[in-house]
Chains A and B, each alone.
Chain A
Amino acid sequence: DGGITQSPKYLFRKEGQNVTLSCEQNLNHDAMYWYRQDPGQGLRLIYYSQIVNDFQKGDIAEGYSVSREKKESFPLTVTSAQKNPTAFYLCASSQNSGANVLTFGAGSRLTVL
């Protein structure tokens, strides 16, 4: 079945550590996205990529980094510079960056201890 796989589902991090969240899709989609969701708030865009080897900052990119070396993969690194990293992180993809339906992964919950 085609879809998006995010891992790990739950992750605990100590302050000062970098962590990387994985996002893999087998939908042959060109565009991929990372969103952050906090309780009672809508999704906020962190980074997005419209094509391999290219990505743009979203609305809350500070303290995060991404890479897009392969079409299928769009990992997100939460760095120690991110002041409030505890959140639910959602990866999504779409066929291209135009008006397409987004397909979401199941999410990764990061908790900073």
Chain B
Amino acid sequence: KQEVTQIPAALSVPEGENLVLNCSFTDSAIYNLQWFRQDPGKGLTSLLLIQSSQREQTSGRLNASLDKSSGRSTLYIAASQPGDSATYLCAVQGTSGSRLTFGEGTQLTVNP
């Protein structure tokens, strides 16, 4: 059974700092990995999707990497802003189809 772990559970940084969020998964046979953002009391917004054959994806100040063999992904946020404050979740999709397995999330606070 796939298990997804996110470290740290919470992170507080000053504005402008570059930061890395970590996601690890136990079964390396994945189809893709997604990073989501969730604002308090709201639904999830997809940030980046990395196919299993890819090593990284970039969108603006966000860069996500994938190392399937070691079961790890990182989300790099450059020049953090207070508006980046949210919970970030990663999820992996297995090769068998539609099920996503989610991590517990990292709650990020960027202080002005």
Q: Which A positions have Cβ atoms within 8 angstroms of B?
A: 4, 6, 31, 33, 35, 40-45, 48, 50, 58, 88, 90, 92, 94, 97-99, 101-107, 109
Contact = CB atoms under 8 A, between A and B. Distances in A.
Contact of A99 (B32, B44, B105): B32
Given A99-B51, A101-B49, A45 B42 contact: no
A42 B4 contact: yes
Interface string B60-102: 0000000000000000000000000000010101000111111
Given A42-B102, A43-B89, A94-B98, A104 B49 contact: no
A45 B104 contact: no
Interface string B20-42: 00000000000110101000011
Contact of B43 (A94, A97, A104): A104
A42 B103 contact: yes
A99 B100 contact: no
A45 B93 contact: no
Contacts of A101: 34, 46, 49
Interface of B: 4, 9, 31-32, 34, 36, 41-46, 49, 51, 89, 91, 93, 97-105
Nearest to A88: B41
Contacts of B97: 97-98
B41 A31 contact: no
Tell me whether chain A's interface is mostly helix, strand or loop, or mixed.
Answer: strand
B58 to A, nearest CB: 16
Given A42-B102, A97-B98, A102 B42 contact: no
A106 B38 CA distance: 10
Contacts of B4: 42
Contacts of B36: 104
Contacts of B45: 104
Nearest to A103: B46
Contact of B42 (A41, A99, A103, A106): A106
A88 B78 CA distance: 31
B38 to A, nearest CB: 9
A93 to B, nearest CB: 11
A48 B49 contact: no
